[in-house]
Amino acid sequence: MSELVLLAGLFLSAFSSATILPGSSEVVMLGLMTQGIGLWAIWTVATIGNVAGSVVSWWMGTAILRFQDRKWFPVGPEKLAKAQGWFNKWGKPALLLTWLPGVGDALSIAAGTLRVHLVPFIVLVGIAKGLRYAMVLGGGDFLGVDELFN
């Protein structure tokens, strides 16, 4: 497969990982390391895709809070209340925790419901997601993941 196709797959995996859809971007990233794709390319595509997915969750929060009592609503009332509580207590810096599994989606949606402006949202989420992916790639590089499968 061409590098472009593989990176497009990574983008989609990272995007879906930051939404209510399932995704496994970390596994895909480590797999791409075994294909000889540069770490910077992997990191950049994964980070952009994951932040873009978080923006979708933020947008959902701005648009669908009125549907929070519906069965299909992506975040339960307890998680949403907890995430909104984080914002009331910590403010925008709570977005630095959007990298956490389970909590990150709720925080992104809560940011939308609380009308956090998009630019600071993107900056803080970008820092959080970028650092997480840097750690994953750094760990994979340290452990020699690319050499294990070659």
Helical H segments across the chain, by residue range: 3-17, 25-33, 39-64, 77-90, 103-113, 118-142, 145-148
Q: Is 124 helix (H, G, I), strand (E, B) or coil?
A: helix
Give the chain's mean pLDDT. 87
Model confidence at 150: pLDDT above 70: no
Place of tokens 């879906």: 16
- pLDDT score for 148: 65
Q: Looking at residues 2-16, what average pLDDT do you find? A: 93
pLDDT band at 20 (very low <50, low <70, confident <90, very high): confident
Model confidence at 56: pLDDT above 90: yes
Q: Looking at residues 105-129, what average pLDDT do you find? A: 92
Q: How far apart are the first and last CA of the chain?
A: 16
Residues 59-78: pLDDT tens digits? 988 887 777 777 777 667 78
Q: Mention every residue, 6+ apart, whose C-beta is less than 8 A from residue 99.
A: 128, 129, 131, 132
pLDDT band at 149 (very low <50, low <70, confident <90, very high): low
- pTM attached to this predicted model: 0.85
Residues 29-50: pLDDT tens digits? 988 988 889 999 999 999 999 9
